[in-house]
Amino acid sequence: MPESAGCLAGRVVLITGSTGIAAATANKAIAEGAQVFISSRTESNCAALVEQLGAKQAGYRAADLRQDDAAAAVVEDCRTRFGRIDALFNVAGISGRRFGDGPIHECTPEGWDTTMDVNARSQFLMCRAALAVMLPQAPGSDGMRGSLLNMASVLAFSPEPTYFASHAYAASKGAILGMTKAMAAYYAPQKIRVNAIAPALVQTPMSERASGNDEIMAYMKGKQPLVEGMQDADDIADAAIFLMSSGARSITGDVMTVDAGWCVSEGNAKG
C-alpha cells in the first residue's frame, strides 16, 4: 500500500485496554490504516470501542490478562481474525491505591501483589503469547516480524514523593523497563522490536483521583509546564503510533519519555 494510505496500513495492532490511552491509540491506528484488536476486563468498554472503530476493522475479547490462558486466548483470537500480529501495545494497568499501594511502610501485601500482577505480569504474559505468533511469521514490508510496545511510567525513574508515593506502582513500571530492555536485546536478531513509553500524568479514568484534587492540579501546572496540567491521551497515542510504525524500524530497547516536562521540572511550590 502507498504511504499515503497511513503509516500502519495493512498492519494488525493488538492493544490491551479499552479507555484512555488505549482508546486514543486504537482510533489513531484505525485512521492510519491498521486493523485493531482490543482486550480488557470490561466487555462493555471493549464492545463500545469496537463499535466506534468499526466492526470490519476491529475486534475484541474481554479477558483478565493476569491469567496465562486468557492472554493466550486473546492473542489467538486476534491471529484468527486478522491472520497475523504486527504490533502489540500493552496499555492495560491500574493504580493500586484502592488495594493498599502506597509508601513501602504502608503498602499492604495485597496492594503490592495486585499492582504487580495487573501491571507487570499481564505485560509479561501478553508479550509471551504475542511472540509465539511473531517469531514464526514472515517479516512485513519493512523487514520486521513485529513490534512490542510496553507501558511504563516516569514514576519508575523520576519519583514524586508528595502526591504520587505509590511504591508498588513504581516498582511494577520499573520491572517493565527491565523486561523491555532484556527482550529488545534478545529478539533484535529475529527482527522483533521492543520498546516502552513512559508518560507522566495523563487525563484518563485511572487519574481521576489526581484530576479531582485542586492541590495536585495546581502543582501540575509547574510539574508539566508544556501543558500546564494533565497530558492528553492523544499525546501518548501519537508516540505509540510512531513506535509501532516502519518509521521506527531502527528503534528498539528505547524508553520514550512523553511527560510534558515532568522529569525536568519541580512543580509549583505549595502555598
Average pLDDT of the segment spanning 42-55: 95
Report the alpha-carbon distance of residue 117 to residue 96 in Å, rounded: 10
Of 176, 48, 192, 52, which Cα lies nearest the Cα of 123? Answer: 176
Which pLDDT tens digit goes with each residue over 96-139? 999 999 999 999 999 999 999 999 999 999 999 999 999 999 99
DSSP alpha helix (H) spans, the chain: 20-31, 43-53, 68-82, 109-116, 122-134, 167-187, 208-211, 214-223, 233-244
Q: How many residues are there in the chain?
A: 271
Distance CA 207, CA 107 (A): 19
Q: Which fold has domain 3-200+234-259?
A: Rossmann fold (3.40.50)
Q: Is 169 a catalytic residue?
A: yes
**Is the pLDDT confidence value at 257 over 60?**
yes
Whether the per-residue pLDDT at 2 is higher than 60: the answer is no
Across the chain, mean pLDDT equals 95
Q: Fill in the DSSP letter of residue 100.
A: T
> For 173-191, b where at least 16 C-beta lie within 10 A, e where not — what string?
bbbbbebbbebbeebeeeb
pLDDT of 1: 37
Q: Which of the following is catalytic: 60, 163, 169, 187? A: 169
59 and 37 Cβ atoms separated by less than 8 Å: yes
Q: pTM to 2 decimals? A: 0.95
Q: What is the DSSP letter of 180?
A: H
The domains of the chain are located at 3-200+234-259
